[in-house]
Copies of this chain bind each other. A is one copy, B any other.
Amino acid sequence: MNPKRYLPILQWLPGYGRSTLGSDLLAAVIVTIMLIPQSLAYAMLAGLPPEVGLYASIAPLVIYAIFGTSRTLAVGPVAVVSLMTAAAVGQIAPQGSPEYLGAALALALMSGLILTLMGVARLGFLANFLSHPVISGFITASGLIIAASQFKHLLGIEANGHSLLALVTSLAGSLGSTHLPTLVIGLGVLAFLYAARRWLKSTLVGLGVPARPADMLTKAAPILAVAVTTLASWGLGLDARGVAVVGEVPSGLPPLTLPGFDSGLWSQLFVAAVMISIVGFVESVSVGQTLAAKRRQRIDPDQELVGLGTSNIAASFTGGMPVTGGFARSVVNFDAGAETPAAGAFTAVGIAVAALVLTPLIAYLPIATLAATIIVAVLSLVDFPAIKRTWDYSRSDFAAMLATIVVTLGHGVESGIMVGVGLSLALHLYRTSRPHSAVVGRVPGTEHFRNVQRHAVETDDRLAILRVDESLYFANARYLEDTVMELASRQPGLAHIVLACQAVNVIDASALESLEAINARLKDAGVRLHLAEVKGPVMDRLKHTEFCHEMTGQVFLSTFDAWQELRGESGATLSRACGAEGLPVR
């Protein structure tokens, strides 16, 4: 057992030097500035008090620095996971109740345990079953729902609903009671953030600021919006005029909390915890891998599970909420020059300082400002061109993507993910249940064999060669039977059928029974069944079976050998009997 594998901090801490410290500190300052408004906003999105967002950005970051394998991933509350938290916890208790807070802690703990156990059991590959179109569709739909859910804060009205339709209907119904001062602040911040994202960097560069600082300043725009609107709200006494503000936030370090171990609560939250774990893991790993590749580093997905899992467990014991690696935040960390996970630990210190000294100021922060921050952030996740691109490339991928989007928008995030994964698996299985196969003939003068329908090739009336383009398993076994028997019935003078198996990696027990049935039925019809190009591992298994001894024909090393032998062109016996030594391996 290699301790560096399970404690990645041992890989970088011993060689930690002054120059690395400088880079990490700078990155930490910039990420802290970005993270303060984000953590407040995502706590609000999850229906939790704002300080919970700050707490979730302290201990988890320190723990990730110890157990995580990405050098630059920035962990903390993120939009999609916060939305999923709100949806799950909202079914347990009303927002604002102690039960709601407790359920969020339990959710973080369960998700942490699930992730850690998956990591220990090396189940990181499970994330591969979320296809790219499903993830992309899910993120786009979640972005739309999140944006819609924040409009009520921009307008200063009440609106609720778990689906996009319900949200929009509810918003439309209360539009009349829009609170104008709130709307002014909200739209103002929205316009400012949008403009900053669009033009600030190029303007700054035009004014002679170098590209990187210009980029960093652009990323700091939200904290500027927070500062200005908080100041205005305090100076003008906006809360007295009906503008909703964050209100008193307790000042201090995170409390120690004990998540509830109520089995009823756990079983209610279980599915949501699994979903949050997988979605959070996929988001984290995608970001982590992209950034690692840029610097020729590698991350270990199974250890990443442990890193994220322990971070969530830490969140649950320090008054936090479910966390994962955030996309925008990690990119900023990377661009700002973070070299080791120590940057994350320094960020945690920054947030802790904010929790100690900045909280009194936050009381005057208008909620509309946070809502505008969220809307601008999540709308950048919405990717409509990807829908068009997927449609152009593959209709079945598009179907899975569309189903994910429609179900997520109409029925919520968990159902959306499940339908997307289920449909993409079903479409994949459907495809492999009708495997491609082709009758092939010899390209004249060569040892190559190609599809008779696409090429001018030599064939023989007494001999049919069927190339099977898929592993043979239960779902396509019967289809193979049908294909071979139809081939036999179409060609009356046939004496030999050769199955060319270069693409067959596995023949499972069901397919073996189908081969037995094919052999027996062909025998009755006076046709011999041969195999060619059988791979080594497949042959190793076949040679101990009854099929191999009952087979009327032979096993040939190559299709060309079969062609020569069965047409009687070759004197040498190139074929192999099942039991013989020197079986063909490939």
Instruction: Flag if B508 contacts A478 (CB, 8 Å).
Output: no
Chain B residues within 8 Å of A433, by CB: 125, 128-129
Chain B residues within 8 Å of A585, by CB: 454-455
Instruction: Flag if B429 contacts A129 (CB, 8 Å).
Output: yes
The 7 closest A-B pairs by CB, nearest first: A131-B474, A397-B509, A132-B510, A503-B503, A131-B510, A128-B475, A436-B505
Chain B residues within 8 Å of A471, by CB: 432, 470
Chain B residues within 8 Å of A431, by CB: 506
Chain B residues within 8 Å of A478, by CB: 128
Q: Given A392-B544, A393-B545, A541-B394: A505 and B470 within 8 A (CB)? A: yes
Identical chains bound together, number: 2
Rounded to whole angstroms, the CA-CA distance of A125 and B479 in the bound complex is 9
Instruction: Flag if B474 contacts A508 (CB, 8 Å).
Output: no
Interface positions of A from 440 to 483, Cβ below 8 Å from B: 446-448, 450-451, 454-455, 469-471, 473-479
Instruction: Flag if B394 contacts A128 (CB, 8 Å).
Output: no
13 examples of A-B residue contacts, CB within 8 angstroms = A125-B430, A128-B477, A129-B475, A393-B544, A394-B541, A397-B508, A432-B471, A448-B558, A450-B586, A454-B586, A470-B505, A503-B503, A503-B505
The answer to whether the Cβ of A293 comes within 8 Å of any Cβ in the partner chain is yes
Instruction: Flag if B474 contacts A132 (CB, 8 Å).
Output: yes
Rounded to whole angstroms, the CA-CA distance of A512 and B136 in the bound complex is 14
Chain B residues within 8 Å of A432, by CB: 471
Rounded to whole angstroms, the CA-CA distance of A562 and B428 in the bound complex is 31
Chain B residues within 8 Å of A521, by CB: 293
Rounded to whole angstroms, the CA-CA distance of A428 and B448 in the bound complex is 31
A584: min CB distance to chain B, Å: 11
Chain B residues within 8 Å of A429, by CB: 129, 425
Instruction: Flag if B132 contacts A513 (CB, 8 Å).
Output: yes
Interface mask (A517-556 → B, CB under 8 Å = 1, otherwise 0) = 1000100110000000001100001001100000000000
Chain B residues within 8 Å of A476, by CB: 128
Give 4 new A-B contacts, CB below 8 A, not counting A128-B474, A133-B509: A129-B429, A436-B505, A454-B585, A469-B535
The answer to whether the Cβ of A45 comes within 8 Å of any Cβ in the partner chain is no
Rounded to whole angstroms, the CA-CA distance of A353 and B552 in the bound complex is 49
The answer to whether the Cβ of A390 comes within 8 Å of any Cβ in the partner chain is yes
Rounded to whole angstroms, the CA-CA distance of A318 and B558 in the bound complex is 60
Where the two chains meet, the residues of A that have a C-beta atom closer than 8 Å to any C-beta of B are: 125, 128-134, 293, 296, 390, 392-394, 396-397, 424-425, 428-436, 446-448, 450-451, 454-455, 469-471, 473-479, 502-503, 505-506, 508-510, 512-513, 517, 521, 524-525, 535-536, 541, 544-545, 558, 585-586
Chain B residues within 8 Å of A541, by CB: 393-394
Instruction: Flag if B509 contacts A394 (CB, 8 Å).
Output: yes
Complex: chain B residue closest to A130, CB-CB: B474
A451: min CB distance to chain B, Å: 6
A421: min CB distance to chain B, Å: 10
Rounded to whole angstroms, the CA-CA distance of A506 and B503 in the bound complex is 13
Rounded to whole angstroms, the CA-CA distance of A114 and B352 in the bound complex is 61
Rounded to whole angstroms, the CA-CA distance of A127 and B517 in the bound complex is 18
Chain B residues within 8 Å of A392, by CB: 544
Instruction: Flag if A473 contacts B428 (CB, 8 Å).
Output: yes
Rounded to whole angstroms, the CA-CA distance of A477 and B394 in the bound complex is 16
Chain B residues within 8 Å of A131, by CB: 473-475, 508-510
Chain B residues within 8 Å of A293, by CB: 517, 521
A123: min CB distance to chain B, Å: 10
Complex: chain B residue closest to A394, CB-CB: B509
Rounded to whole angstroms, the CA-CA distance of A428 and B431 in the bound complex is 14
Instruction: Flag if A479 contacts B390 (CB, 8 Å).
Output: no
Complex: chain B residue closest to A514, CB-CB: B132
CB within 8 A of A393: which of B296, B430, B509? Answer: B509
